[in-house]
Amino acid sequence: MTRKNADGGGRSTIRDVAARAGVSAATVSRVLGGVYPVSTATRTQVLRAVRELDYVADARAKAIAGAGTPTLGFVLDDITGPSFALMAHGVEREATRLGHLCLVCSTDGDAAHESDFIETMRAQRAAAVILVGGGADTPEYRSRTARFADALAAAGSRLVLCGRPPLDPGAPVTVIEYDNEGGAYALCAHVLSRGHRRILFLGGEPEHTTAQGRERGYLAAHHARGVEADPALRLAGDFTRDSGYRSMRRALETGLDFTAVMAATDMVAAGALTALREAGVDVPGEVSLVGYDDIPFARDLWPPLTTVRVPYEELGRLAVRTALRSAGVGDEHLLLGTHVVVRGSVGVVGGGVSSAG
Amino acid sequence: MTRKNADGGGRSTIRDVAARAGVSAATVSRVLGGVYPVSTATRTQVLRAVRELDYVADARAKAIAGAGTPTLGFVLDDITGPSFALMAHGVEREATRLGHLCLVCSTDGDAAHESDFIETMRAQRAAAVILVGGGADTPEYRSRTARFADALAAAGSRLVLCGRPPLDPGAPVTVIEYDNEGGAYALCAHVLSRGHRRILFLGGEPEHTTAQGRERGYLAAHHARGVEADPALRLAGDFTRDSGYRSMRRALETGLDFTAVMAATDMVAAGALTALREAGVDVPGEVSLVGYDDIPFARDLWPPLTTVRVPYEELGRLAVRTALRSAGVGDEHLLLGTHVVVRGSVGVVGGGVSSAG
DNA sequence: GTGAAAGCGCTAACAC
DNA sequence: GTGTTAGCGCTTTCAC
């Protein structure tokens, strides 16, 4: 059984085209390849054969022979989260703009998946692999990731951490992050400045780097104001709407004492808001609420959510640009700024109701 | 300058490993390949060499030689939309579960990008390419897409339409869609049943298949009730929050007469809701509002949004499963059901306020 | 069990 | 300008 078929199958090879055009495979390669000198007559012949056979060169073969489209791998927790999606979009757009292909994989927070995928990207000889979003920061994680970074670097590739803090210095990684802690600090300072002293923190998984950064900002702001942060006011969870809803209900049932809540993400804030409303608590009249991320509909909640703006898409774009540039060894580190967006969900303690800006 | 390096670079080839282990390349291939009979001694040698060299086989070379991980391409408008993200997640999860790699590309609604990418996937010899979400339904689109379907099929691959209506019958495509029109019909019927007679429809781009389907449902429901649908009540836009906000403002400024609004998506509804609120219009007291998609935070809006539930993630999963199964020629068509989720954003005309369910 | 050799589909010297 | 000849890094007969 032969593989060749002369009619319009996609399975035809460069030799089929050559045969049909009455030239050599090399010539076909040349006309297809671009600007190599080929006579107009042959070029026409070849192009006709290509069209008739509906020939498309095998990219894998090209790649292995030296030409070929470079590929970029990116892995994220869950494309479903709005902020992840924004970063992914930035990565994808910039990559295709630069003529790269994109391989994706979502890990659902599973570190083993992450390892597997990095290995796969290595096998694909990806020009860079981008880890999008925070992750669990354990010692195992750090050493494993550092190993990957080395392996990738040794192969002329590159590991990029996008929205995740650097590994130990010296590891050949590119990191593009935003000022997670700084944003949380500013946000919490804003809430404190309105007189709140007992602020419930609805956090993420304890080892998640993003959650940690935001909690550090929360703590630092308290410290700077000389306000003691009651540990009982810090609840763990994850970054989903449902987690926010559940945590808030629990806090309410437990009879926790607080006048404001700072949610780790806008999604968490959305869930918390609903729980608050169901309990008949007025926001921001009785309890103030802030989120983090400034996702598109943060302004569509009622009251419009005060939150922290993060340049997620920019982050993704920069990640690929920087990765592709800094192909050499050495680590690179970019830190993007954030800013708080004041809307109407924070009230003055014991005072008026709204603080829209 | 030689490519080989004996130390732990990722650039080592199977021959480097063979040399170091004192065996032939074929043997290395065999121990790595799986269950071919190899003596324990050699196996150990080889594995040690692999480890020392940190060798990872080149997936492209494998692919071209016959082995290799199958790849799946998927293209969507914009990963940033919640429903797209859900489908993408389903696709990605199922694909990696089945041991496939995923190549992505977002087109930002540009048909040319779509064509380019399908061509690229053909070059990659993807096992299937999945078009996620609706698109502009023009004659050019239909013929172009049918051509791609043929080309892919001829090459043993497959075109899958996920959340998009079929092409002309006979085209070798797999389509997994949901009952877009049916959902809109049920939703609109619900609104009509509450006494509304002038329902503003905040649609999408006129040629977008999803927008069209939803509009058809809207129209059909009117027709079934014998209510005339005023064309002036149908506004075009896109599926973003901002589009909803702008359209709603315009409708309000124009002094359009309506008692309910049916938004093409929940995102559109979110924007519309804010515009309504800013204009001091009570929802659902004065105007009722419904969306479509049932994205996670639809329930976090105030009032909680009545909408249509679509099994997006399931859609994505089914797309890859079906695609990979129906590798032969012939078209396959799955239609998933939807259902309306009644929450609190629809009121009875001239009557009470809420209709939470 | 293992090696030598052929070949996957392509590109890139090197000839003429 | 164009054909011939080597590879690219791997798998897979086919011998031994």
> Tens of pLDDT along A206-242?
999 999 999 999 999 999 999 999 999 999 999 999 9
B296 contacts A125? CB cut-off 8 A: no
Spatial contact of B129 and B75, defined as CB atoms under 8 Å apart: yes
What token pair was written down for A46?
Answer: 């070849």
For residue B254, the model assigns a pLDDT of: 97
Q: Are residues B168 and B201 in the same domain?
A: no
Residue B326 touches partner A, C-beta closer than 8 Å: no
Spatial contact of B100 and B320, defined as CB atoms under 8 Å apart: yes
Residue type, A226: G
**Chain D bases under 7 Å from protein CB?**
1-5, 7-13
Interface of B with A in 284-323 (CB under 8 A): 296-297, 299-302, 304
Spatial contact of B292 and B214, defined as CB atoms under 8 Å apart: yes
Cβ-Cβ contacts under 8 Å, B125 against chain A: 58-60
For residue B351, the model assigns a pLDDT of: 59
Interface of A with B in 85-114 (CB under 8 A): 85-86, 88-89, 92-93, 96, 101-106, 108, 113
Q: Which of B93, B274, B300 sits opposite A273 (nearest CB)?
A: B300
Confidence band, pLDDT 50/70/90 cuts, at residue A351? low
Please give the order of strands across the beta sheet that includes A288-290. Answer: A234-235, A199-202, A260-263, A288-290
For residue A17, the model assigns a pLDDT of: 97
Any domain includes A256: yes
Residue A187, domain CATH:
3.40.50.2300
Q: Are residues A184 and A154 in the same domain?
A: no
Give the three-class secondary structure for A202: strand
Q: Are residues A121 and A164 in the same domain?
A: yes
Q: Which residue in this structure is represented by tokens 């001239």?
A: B350
Contacts of B186 (CB under 8 A, 6+ apart): B217, B221, B308, B338, B339, B340
Any domain includes B269: yes
What token pair was written down for B68?
Answer: 């290799």
Q: Are residues B196 and B225 in the same domain?
A: yes
Any domain includes B189: yes
Q: How many CA atoms lie within 13 A of B198 on its CB side?
A: 10
Return the sign of the alpha-carbon dihedral for residues A268, A274, A279, A282: positive
For residue A245, the model assigns a pLDDT of: 98
Q: Distance (Å, rounded) from C-alpha A69 to C-alpha B166? A: 32
Distance from CA of A34 to the nearest CA of B (A): 17
Q: Distance (Å, rounded) from C-alpha B316 to C-alpha B84? A: 9
Q: What is the mean pLDDT of residues B342-347?
A: 98
Within 10 A of B43 (CB to CB), how many other CB atoms are there? 16
B86 contacts A11? CB cut-off 8 A: no
Q: Which of A79, A101, A152 sits opposite B79 (nearest CB)?
A: A79
Contacts of A111 (CB under 8 A, 6+ apart): A135, A136, A140, A141, A144
How does DSSP classify residue A179? -
Which candidate, A288, A282, A274, A287, places its Cα nearest to that of A342?
Answer: A288
Q: Are residues B120 and B204 in the same domain?
A: no
Contacts of B132 (CB under 8 A, 6+ apart): B74, B75, B76, B77, B84, B87, B88, B91, B162, B163, B316, B319
Q: Distance (Å, rounded) from C-alpha A347 to C-alpha A246? A: 23
pTM of the model: 0.92
Q: Are residues B160 and B185 in the same domain?
A: no
Q: Distance (Å, rounded) from C-alpha B231 to C-alpha B43? A: 75
Helix (H) and strand (E) counts in chain A:
12, 12
Confidence band, pLDDT 50/70/90 cuts, at residue B328? low
Q: Are residues B201 and B295 in the same domain?
A: yes
Q: Are residues B300 and B325 in the same domain?
A: no
Distance B82 CA to C8 C1' (A): 42
Any domain includes B347: no
Spatial contact of A291 and A324, defined as CB atoms under 8 Å apart: no
Any domain includes A323: yes
Confidence band, pLDDT 50/70/90 cuts, at residue B352? very low
Residue A19, domain CATH:
1.10.260.40
**CA A168 from centre of chain:** 21
Q: Distance (Å, rounded) from C-alpha B125 to C-alpha A333? A: 37
pLDDT at A2 over 50: no
User: Per-residue b/e over A153-171, b at no fewer than 16 CB within 10 Å?
Assistant: bbbebbbbbbbbbebeeeb
Any domain includes B8: no
Q: Are residues A76 and A106 in the same domain?
A: yes
Within 10 A of A37 (CB to CB), how many other CB atoms are there? 5
For residue B168, the model assigns a pLDDT of: 87
Highest mean pLDDT among A343-352, B217-226, B324-333, B346-355: B217-226
Q: Are residues B283 and B188 in the same domain?
A: yes
Any domain includes A6: no
Rounded to whole angstroms, the maximal C-alpha distance in chain B is 89
Q: Are residues B29 and B78 in the same domain?
A: no
Identify each DSSP E strand in A121-253 by its residue range.
128-132, 159-162, 173-178, 199-202, 234-235
Confidence band, pLDDT 50/70/90 cuts, at residue B10? low
Any domain includes A132: yes
For residue A329, the model assigns a pLDDT of: 59
Ramachandran class of A179: left when φ > 0, alpha when ψ lies in -120 to 50, beta otherwise = beta
CA dist A90 → A9, A241, A300, B73 (Å) = 36, 24, 24, 19
Residue B234 dihedral angles phi and psi, to the nearest 5°:
-110, 115
Q: Are residues B84 and B146 in the same domain?
A: yes
> How many structural domains compose chain B?
3
What token pair was written down for B161?
Answer: 């339409």
Spatial contact of B308 and B183, defined as CB atoms under 8 Å apart: yes
CA dist A259 → A229, A288, A304 (Å) = 13, 6, 18
How does DSSP classify residue B162? E
Locate the chain A residue with the closest alpha carbon to B107.
Answer: A93
Q: What pLDDT, in 10s, does the model give residues A46-57?
A: 999 999 999 999
Q: What pLDDT, in 10s, does the model give residues A303-339?
A: 999 999 999 999 999 999 999 887 665 788 999 999 9
When scoring A3, A51, A53, A79 by the number of chain B Cβ atoms within 10 A, the one with the most, hence best to mutate, is A79
- What range defines the domain where residue A205 resides? 180-306
Q: Distance (Å, rounded) from C-alpha A179 to C-alpha A339? A: 9
